[in-house]
Amino acid sequence: MTRGVRIGVDVGSVRVGVAASDPDARLAFPVTAVQRRRDGSDLAELADLVAEREAVEVVVGLPRTLAGREGPAVDAARSYAEALAERIAPVPVTFSDERLTTVVADRALRAARPRSSVRDRRAAVDAAAATGILQTYLDGLAEGPA
Protein backbone atom coordinates (compact mmCIF):
# COMPACT_ATOMS: atom_id res chain seq x y z
CA MET A 1 0.00 0.00 0.00
CA THR A 2 1.26 3.45 -0.90
CA ARG A 3 1.91 5.67 2.10
CA GLY A 4 0.04 8.96 2.06
CA VAL A 5 -3.07 10.85 2.99
CA ARG A 6 -6.42 9.65 1.71
CA ILE A 7 -9.41 11.99 1.40
CA GLY A 8 -12.95 10.74 2.05
CA VAL A 9 -15.91 12.39 0.36
CA ASP A 10 -19.61 12.18 1.22
CA VAL A 11 -21.50 13.68 -1.74
CA GLY A 12 -24.76 15.35 -0.82
CA SER A 13 -27.11 17.56 -2.78
CA VAL A 14 -26.42 20.59 -0.54
CA ARG A 15 -22.96 19.92 0.93
CA VAL A 16 -20.00 17.61 0.40
CA GLY A 17 -18.52 16.19 3.59
CA VAL A 18 -14.76 15.86 3.60
CA ALA A 19 -12.46 13.76 5.78
CA ALA A 20 -8.77 12.94 5.67
CA SER A 21 -6.50 10.21 6.95
CA ASP A 22 -3.11 10.27 8.57
CA PRO A 23 -0.22 9.49 6.16
CA ASP A 24 -0.13 5.87 7.36
CA ALA A 25 -3.80 5.41 6.38
CA ARG A 26 -4.83 4.19 9.83
CA LEU A 27 -7.15 6.89 11.15
CA ALA A 28 -9.74 9.11 9.47
CA PHE A 29 -10.82 12.46 10.87
CA PRO A 30 -13.34 15.12 9.76
CA VAL A 31 -12.02 18.11 7.81
CA THR A 32 -14.91 20.23 6.57
CA ALA A 33 -18.14 20.36 4.61
CA VAL A 34 -18.04 22.17 1.29
CA GLN A 35 -21.18 23.94 0.09
CA ARG A 36 -22.33 22.64 -3.33
CA ARG A 37 -22.47 25.37 -5.97
CA ARG A 38 -23.90 25.39 -9.47
CA ASP A 39 -20.78 27.04 -10.86
CA GLY A 40 -18.64 24.04 -9.86
CA SER A 41 -16.48 26.04 -7.46
CA ASP A 42 -17.13 23.34 -4.85
CA LEU A 43 -15.17 20.95 -7.05
CA ALA A 44 -12.33 23.47 -7.25
CA GLU A 45 -12.38 23.86 -3.46
CA LEU A 46 -12.24 20.10 -3.02
CA ALA A 47 -9.44 19.79 -5.60
CA ASP A 48 -7.50 22.43 -3.63
CA LEU A 49 -7.90 20.36 -0.44
CA VAL A 50 -6.61 17.28 -2.25
CA ALA A 51 -3.57 19.23 -3.48
CA GLU A 52 -2.91 20.95 -0.12
CA ARG A 53 -2.87 17.63 1.72
CA GLU A 54 -0.91 15.94 -1.08
CA ALA A 55 -3.48 13.15 -1.12
CA VAL A 56 -2.58 9.90 -2.84
CA GLU A 57 -6.21 8.79 -3.21
CA VAL A 58 -9.77 10.07 -2.88
CA VAL A 59 -12.51 7.77 -1.62
CA VAL A 60 -16.09 8.67 -2.57
CA GLY A 61 -19.01 7.09 -0.78
CA LEU A 62 -21.68 5.28 -2.80
CA PRO A 63 -25.07 5.58 -1.09
CA ARG A 64 -26.53 2.20 -2.00
CA THR A 65 -29.81 1.08 -0.48
CA LEU A 66 -29.80 -1.34 2.45
CA ALA A 67 -30.51 -4.08 -0.07
CA GLY A 68 -27.36 -3.06 -1.99
CA ARG A 69 -29.21 -1.56 -4.94
CA GLU A 70 -28.07 1.54 -6.76
CA GLY A 71 -30.42 4.44 -7.37
CA PRO A 72 -30.31 8.12 -8.31
CA ALA A 73 -28.10 9.03 -5.33
CA VAL A 74 -25.42 6.58 -6.51
CA ASP A 75 -25.63 8.03 -10.03
CA ALA A 76 -25.16 11.53 -8.58
CA ALA A 77 -22.16 10.41 -6.50
CA ARG A 78 -20.56 8.74 -9.52
CA SER A 79 -21.09 11.86 -11.67
CA TYR A 80 -19.58 14.06 -8.98
CA ALA A 81 -16.63 11.68 -8.60
CA GLU A 82 -16.00 11.73 -12.37
CA ALA A 83 -15.97 15.54 -12.41
CA LEU A 84 -13.62 15.56 -9.41
CA ALA A 85 -11.34 12.94 -11.00
CA GLU A 86 -10.85 15.18 -14.03
CA ARG A 87 -9.68 18.01 -11.76
CA ILE A 88 -7.33 15.99 -9.56
CA ALA A 89 -5.77 13.58 -12.09
CA PRO A 90 -3.53 11.63 -11.69
CA VAL A 91 -4.79 11.15 -8.09
CA PRO A 92 -7.08 8.10 -8.27
CA VAL A 93 -10.71 8.19 -7.15
CA THR A 94 -12.05 5.04 -5.49
CA PHE A 95 -15.58 4.19 -4.39
CA SER A 96 -16.66 2.76 -1.05
CA ASP A 97 -20.03 1.60 0.24
CA GLU A 98 -21.52 4.21 2.56
CA ARG A 99 -24.74 2.64 3.74
CA LEU A 100 -25.91 4.25 6.99
CA THR A 101 -22.86 6.49 7.49
CA THR A 102 -24.95 9.67 7.63
CA VAL A 103 -27.47 8.10 10.01
CA VAL A 104 -24.69 6.88 12.34
CA ALA A 105 -22.92 10.26 12.20
CA ASP A 106 -26.13 12.16 12.97
CA ARG A 107 -26.95 9.95 15.96
CA ALA A 108 -23.43 10.29 17.36
CA LEU A 109 -23.47 14.07 17.03
CA ARG A 110 -26.94 14.34 18.59
CA ALA A 111 -25.67 12.36 21.56
CA ALA A 112 -22.50 14.44 21.83
CA ARG A 113 -24.20 17.82 21.31
CA PRO A 114 -27.87 17.44 22.31
CA ARG A 115 -28.49 21.20 22.46
CA SER A 116 -26.97 22.09 19.10
CA SER A 117 -29.27 23.37 16.37
CA VAL A 118 -30.01 21.34 13.26
CA ARG A 119 -28.29 24.02 11.17
CA ASP A 120 -25.09 23.83 13.24
CA ARG A 121 -25.11 20.05 13.14
CA ARG A 122 -25.64 19.52 9.40
CA ALA A 123 -22.13 20.41 8.22
CA ALA A 124 -20.63 18.45 11.11
CA VAL A 125 -22.78 15.44 10.16
CA ASP A 126 -21.57 15.62 6.55
CA ALA A 127 -17.91 15.72 7.62
CA ALA A 128 -18.52 12.92 10.13
CA ALA A 129 -20.20 10.81 7.44
CA ALA A 130 -17.17 11.32 5.19
CA THR A 131 -15.03 10.20 8.14
CA GLY A 132 -17.09 7.01 8.44
CA ILE A 133 -16.75 6.31 4.72
CA LEU A 134 -13.00 6.81 4.83
CA GLN A 135 -12.46 4.84 8.05
CA THR A 136 -14.37 1.85 6.66
CA TYR A 137 -12.18 1.99 3.56
CA LEU A 138 -8.98 2.28 5.62
CA ASP A 139 -10.02 -0.65 7.81
CA GLY A 140 -10.42 -2.71 4.64
CA LEU A 141 -6.92 -1.73 3.50
CA ALA A 142 -5.49 -2.77 6.86
CA GLU A 143 -7.14 -6.19 6.64
CA GLY A 144 -5.57 -6.77 3.24
CA PRO A 145 -6.93 -8.98 0.47
CA ALA A 146 -9.62 -11.47 1.41
Q: What is the pLDDT of residues 124-142, one digit of tens each?
A: 788 888 999 999 999 988 7
Each as own residue / partner, the long-range contacts of residues 32-40 (CB below 8 Å, 24 or more positions apart, any chain) are 32/123, 32/127, 33/122, 33/123, 33/124, 33/126, 33/127, 36/12, 40/83
Query: Can you give the pLDDT at residue 97?
Result: 86
Q: What is the pTM of this model?
A: 0.84
For 103, the domain range is 6-143
| Number of domains making up the chain | 1
Query: Can you give the pLDDT at residue 71?
Result: 80
Query: Can you give the pLDDT at residue 109?
Result: 47
Query: Can you give the pLDDT at residue 16?
Result: 96
Residue 118 placed within a domain = yes
Q: What CATH number did the domain enclosing 36 receive?
A: 3.30.420.140
Q: What is the CA radius of gyration of the chain?
A: 14
Residue 109 placed within a domain = yes
Low-confidence ranges of the chain (pLDDT < 70): 65-67, 99-121, 144-146
